[in-house]
A and B are shown apart, each in its own frame.
Chain A
């Protein structure tokens, strides 16, 4: 099978995801409304309560809205990753996932293409969010709009791969709702999205450790640094390692000889 075949397959999967996204306009708006509610209401209320000291990558005191913007960007990707995997559980229950899995093209490639397709959609949402966020004076340097892209791709892949692994392990659509509660909310709150790690460390050492080893923190911080055209090697290395782990687990999960598909019996 030559490279052209793989490229056609990749294009087809991304195009399908893009078409689904265009057809489901409410998905786009809900993906935007969620972080904007946090930005417009939560951040406005907490800016007077929480003081943020000067920490890298910031060179001066910043309003709370500016601090939580990277966390909200990662939140968009987290929800998108989980929504993509939710659609995989739905597709599997409804049968349309089978269409993809019986393709002669290797399954790892199909799954990676599906992941990239989800990341592509999440990046569109992030740039739409950044555009609206500029009305809240969240305006990074111009270069930041470009340097954020690699961080968005890798964090989108990590969160999408996590969602894909979860989707392979979940038997029914109903069970997925419970997992969302046990994944999305703990991941978001126990991270550096809403408060800096040093602030959490002041409150609780164990909570600090939970936040520090939370993969979502690595996504948030990678996005934060890249938005200001900086790179933090610790977070960058961490996010790559987490991506590879989740990717490996999700490919194993959908492998017919090892994975979870067989255990489900008929699904």
Chain B
């Protein structure tokens, strides 16, 4: 069976500091997996390795069987990314930003027009297409970034703390939207967060702390294993806070 994301024994250091220590995890198509960890746990470093911003010097990272290091082009074709920091060009319009992204994936203008229309409708921002990104709210910008990350039809969507700094309404809207994408079956999502209330009961969680994966599995399994009442208490016990 194809694995959407297959990480095996990946470690990463910045000088003497070990940012990731022997990390392994697997995500299947259609999975919504939460990468849960405190700030500085190593989530962003892991994302940088998956997206080949950094090279993995140990272990392997495969996306739909393509090795990120050796078959980076095929691997990156299958990834959509929403980074922790906003990455839209504020001086360009929503449409210009989305076309720019399409061109970075070599998509023709005609195809891009159709996909942009579809994605922007899906996030209910079709009336903002010609607006400068600067004029959008934080929540709207995040939704545009999610739309952008889907234009090239990736099979794996990576979101690095996408709801940080947003109000409750925007957070819920974005979370609901991304979870609904998974339910259609093909898209796998890795959602990094430190906000425990973003996790639903039936989901898979990977708990990362100080660069190590301490626990992974379904919410119910982790709660049962730690003999706690809920995932918040289980998390606190696992990371020792």
User: A1-B73, A102-B53, A262-B55 are contacts. A16–B87 as well, Cβ < 8 Å?
Assistant: no
Q: Flag if A104 contacts B53 (CB, 8 Å).
A: no
Choice from B55, B76, B99 contacting A103 with Cβ under 8 Å: B76
With A and B bound together, what is the CA distance between A262 and B52 in angstroms? 10
Q: Flag if B87 contacts A96 (CB, 8 Å).
A: yes
B168 beta carbon closer than 8 Å to chain A:
no
A145 beta carbon closer than 8 Å to chain B:
no
Choice from A94, A110, A265 contacting B87 with Cβ under 8 Å: A94
Q: What is the distance, in angstroms, from A6's C-beta to the closest C-beta of chain B?
A: 7
User: A11-B103, A98-B83, A266-B44 are contacts. A104–B76 as well, Cβ < 8 Å?
Assistant: yes
B residues near A94, Cβ cutoff 8 Å:
85-87
Q: Flag if A103 contacts B91 (CB, 8 Å).
A: no
Q: Flag if A16 contacts B100 (CB, 8 Å).
A: yes
Q: Flag if B54 contacts A13 (CB, 8 Å).
A: no
User: A256-B53, A262-B54, A266-B44 are contacts. A103–B104 as well, Cβ < 8 Å?
Assistant: yes
With A and B bound together, what is the CA distance between A3 and B74 in angstroms? 16
B178 beta carbon closer than 8 Å to chain A:
no
B residues near A186, Cβ cutoff 8 Å:
none
A residues near B14, Cβ cutoff 8 Å:
262-263, 265
User: 9 tightest CB-CB pairs across the interface, nearest first?
Assistant: A12-B103, A5-B106, A95-B85, A103-B104, A104-B76, A257-B55, A265-B14, A256-B55, A95-B87
With A and B bound together, what is the CA distance between A99 and B74 in angstroms? 17
A20 beta carbon closer than 8 Å to chain B:
yes
Q: Flag if A100 contacts B103 (CB, 8 Å).
A: no
Choice from A9, A15, A16, A256 contacting B106 with Cβ under 8 Å: A9
Residue of B nearest to A264 (CB): B14
Q: Flag if A256 contacts B92 (CB, 8 Å).
A: no
Residues of chain B having any CB pair with chain A under 8 Å: 14, 17, 19, 44-45, 48, 51-55, 72-77, 79, 81, 83-89, 91-92, 96, 99-108
Residues of chain A having any CB pair with chain B under 8 Å: 1, 4-6, 8-9, 11-13, 15-16, 19-20, 23-24, 94-96, 98-106, 110, 256-257, 261-263, 265-266
Q: Flag if B108 contacts A20 (CB, 8 Å).
A: no
Q: Flag if A101 contacts B53 (CB, 8 Å).
A: yes
A residues near B45, Cβ cutoff 8 Å:
265-266
Residue of B nearest to A102 (CB): B51
Q: Flag if A105 contacts B89 (CB, 8 Å).
A: no
A residues near B73, Cβ cutoff 8 Å:
1, 104-106
Q: Flag if B52 contacts A102 (CB, 8 Å).
A: yes
Q: Flag if A24 contacts B91 (CB, 8 Å).
A: yes
Q: Flag if A105 contacts B104 (CB, 8 Å).
A: yes
Choice from B52, B91, B107 contacting A8 with Cβ under 8 Å: B107
B residues near A263, Cβ cutoff 8 Å:
14
Q: Flag if B106 contacts A99 (CB, 8 Å).
A: no
Q: Besides the contacts A102-B51, A262-B54, A265-B14, what 10 more A-B pairs have beta carbons closer than 8 Å?
A: A8-B107, A8-B108, A16-B100, A20-B89, A24-B91, A95-B85, A96-B87, A102-B76, A104-B76, A104-B105
Q: Flag if A100 contacts B104 (CB, 8 Å).
A: yes
A residues near B74, Cβ cutoff 8 Å:
104
Q: Flag if A19 contacts B96 (CB, 8 Å).
A: yes
